[in-house]
Every structure is written in C-alpha cells, then in structure tokens.
Amino acid sequence: MSETIFGVTLPPRRGFAVPIQVIEQDGITAWLVEEHSVPVVSLAWAWPGGSATDREGREGLSSFSAAMLSEGAGDLNNIAFADALRDEGIGLSFSGGRDSFEGSFRALSAALPEAVRLARLAMTQPRLDAAAITRVRARAVLGARQQLETPAGIARRAFWEAGYPGFPAGRLATPESLSAITEAEIRASLAAQMRRGGVMVAASGAINEAGLRSIMAQLFADLPAGAPAATPPLPALAGFGVARREKAAPQSTLIFGQDGLMPTDPGWEAFQVAIRILAGGGFTSRLMRSVREERGLTYGIGAGLDVLFGRGVVVGNVATENSKVGEVWGLIRAAWTEMAANGPTAEEVADAVAFLAGSLPQQFTDSRRTAALLLGLRQTGRAPDWLAGRPARLAALDRAGVAAVARRILRPDGLVVAVAGEPQGL
C-alpha cells in the first residue's frame, strides 16, 4: 500500500514477518526467533491457571505464590537470591495472571547457565521464609486496599464482579482473602501449577535450536509430571446494565464494555480496526473526538480488546465530572450505535490499517518483547504462520468488511458500565 506524505508518494510498505522455529523437547514445544546481533537471550513460559485456580475466599493466591518465587530458593535467602541475579545482570520474574501462571528471564549469553540455574531453583526449591511471606503479603494487602479507595479501582472491580458473577474472572483479591492465605496453601498452589506438562515456551535472541533444547531440558526436568488443570471457558459477559458504586470524589470513573470474539475468529483483524476507529486510536478515535475535543468532558477515553480465558472482551474507561456522567455515557452509547449501524468510512479504515501494519515491526524491537509476544500468540491459539499472514490480511480489509464485522459484534444493547463516584444523570 503506497502512502503520500507532504506531497511525496512513498513506495509500497513491505510485509513484515519474523522467522519462527518450532522446537520439541521432552514433550514441550517452544517457538524461537533467533537474533544474534546482540548477545542477549529472553525466555518466557506459561501454564494455564493463575487466578482461575484461586478458590473462593483465597483470591490472590496465585499472584501471591508467584511473587514468593523471587524471595529466595535453595540455600539462597531473598537477599542472596537477588544479589545472584544482579551480579550476572539477569532479569527473572514470575506472575500469576487471570488465566495463566508465567515465568520469564532475560540474560546475556554468557550468563545463561546461571539464569537457568536460578530459575530452576526458584521453581523447584522456593524457600517461602516466614519473614518474606509477611513482607509480600503486606505489599499485596496495601495494593488491594488502595484499589478500594479510588473511583478507578472501585469501578474496575465492580465491572468484573458484575460481568462474571460466580466465575474466577469476577473474583478479585481483597485484603481479607490475601490475609487468610497460609504457607501450606502457597506450597500447594505452586505444586499444582508448575508441572512438566502443559507448559508453553517462547524464546528470542542470541540462541539457536540446540541451545534452546539444552535450556528446556534443564529448566523443566525437575518439575513434577503431569499438567495443571485446564481453565474453564469464559461465559458470556452478563448484561448487568449499570453497576453503580458510591465514592465521595469530584469525578466518577466509568468502566464500560461488551462481549468480544474469539481470537481465532476470522473477523479478528477487522474487529481490531473497528475498535481502533471507535475507541482505541488516541486523538483520532471517534470517542475521543466526541467526548474530549468537541465537548471537553474528559482528558482521555479509550477502549480495546482484552483477551482472557481464550476469549476477547471489549473494555474501556473514562473519568469525568460527576455532573457530566450521564452525558458521557450517552455519547458512548451513541458512538457504539453509529458504528454498529453504519460502520466506518473508507478513510478511517485506511488510516487504521496503515497504523496497525506500520506498528507491527515496532512490537519486535527487543528479545524480551519478542518472547512475550510469541508466548501471547501461543496462548491465544495462533499457528506459527499467523504472524506472517497478518500484513496480507490487514491489506485485504475494506470498509464493507469492517462494517460487516462491526455490525455482527458490536452490541449497543449489550453495552454495560460500572461507575464509581457520585455520578449524576444515569
């Protein structure tokens, strides 16, 4: 697709792809993108699970357990463990997400043996010292309390609780649930989560197939056999209408959204274009123009596709004066209805496609981002050739196709909102 800038016609933009190698080792599959220009290697891995495995009353257990893996292992207490990482310039982290449990490291090529040793030690011999548990718990409890003290945090919690009642995605950690977690429950959670089976691996940087095979053989060999329990499928977002939470504040925060679509849906790219035009394109989006530029009702408003439990959900947010909440909500609904009914203009589609195609290479600018993106593709059910075909799929989109997908997916009658503050006009 050629572009004209300041009267100069540029040559057609080349397609973009990265060469992905698929590697099998001891029943584990990894995706690898080699890049030897810089002597750095990044590895990312994940199991299904995360907060989806937290039982009622123990919300936050998975993320709490993941945080403990960096607090010492084997004969290294938390300070010695941190020193060992720092001395070799290794970045190692673990996290418990909403539907996954993840680990990653980045290291210079020369430090790879130490990175593998420390990551394996953390997964197989976590110390879980009492003092470390107390410290991590205090930090987590403080974070949970802070979320309950702001309109943004309260509205976000209300959206997920109302949208998925009785489902793991609707249960968020509280100070009470975090305070109730015991050391025995942390150990049990880690043992159930980190297994040799069910793990997905992605790597990028100065490493070849043989080197990655060696790392995989060492990193996961001492984990228990078997795989974590499968996560449940995400149900449809509940049509709760408006969930209102009172909080004394000069502004209210609105978290709004609707059901999306499966990441493997053939209309995925077209819907991404529609959402960018409607709400995700910064100052070029329809919502930003309508709510901020034309009426000055907010500093910013946006929405995007959030993928969890194998399904896409459209989620947006905006903060505005309490007295303007009803007006803002009306403008959001009007923009949603207009896009669903009439779709975008041809110019809007061309601009959105150009942005998405042009920004794709920027997402692969370093080994850590590349490994994380490869892992994300795997977690959403992509095939290795999905990335290579994306530029062509984007280039094939036109106004009619995007309008058809917007009409199929966008549901003004299913648009819901959680609002916290002292809103007026709802």
pLDDT 10s digits, 78-108? 999 999 999 999 999 999 999 999 999 999 9
Considering only the C-alpha atoms of the chain, give the largest distance between any 2 of them, rounded to a whole number of Å: 68
Which tens digits make up the pLDDT trace of 187-245? 999 999 999 999 999 999 999 999 999 999 999 999 999 999 999 999 999 999 999 99
- Phi then psi for 390, rounded to 5 degrees? -65, -45
Please give the pLDDT value at position 9.
56
Which whole number is the average pLDDT over 251-262?
A: 95
What is the percent of the chain where pLDDT is above 90?
91
What is the percent of the chain where pLDDT is above 70?
96
Residue 169 exposure: Cα atoms within 13 Å on the Cβ side = 22
Q: What is each CA distance from 25 to 146, 214, 224, in whole angstroms?
A: 44, 9, 16
Please give the pLDDT value at position 10.
46
pTM: 0.92
Domains of the chain, each with CATH number or no CATH: 21-219 (3.30.830.10), 242-421 (3.30.830.10)
Which tens digits make up the pLDDT trace of 132-171? 999 999 999 999 999 999 999 999 999 999 999 999 999 9
Please give the pLDDT value at position 282.
82
Write down the residue that tokens 């529609």 correspond to.
Answer: 274
**pLDDT band with cut points at 50, 70 and 90 for residue 18:** confident
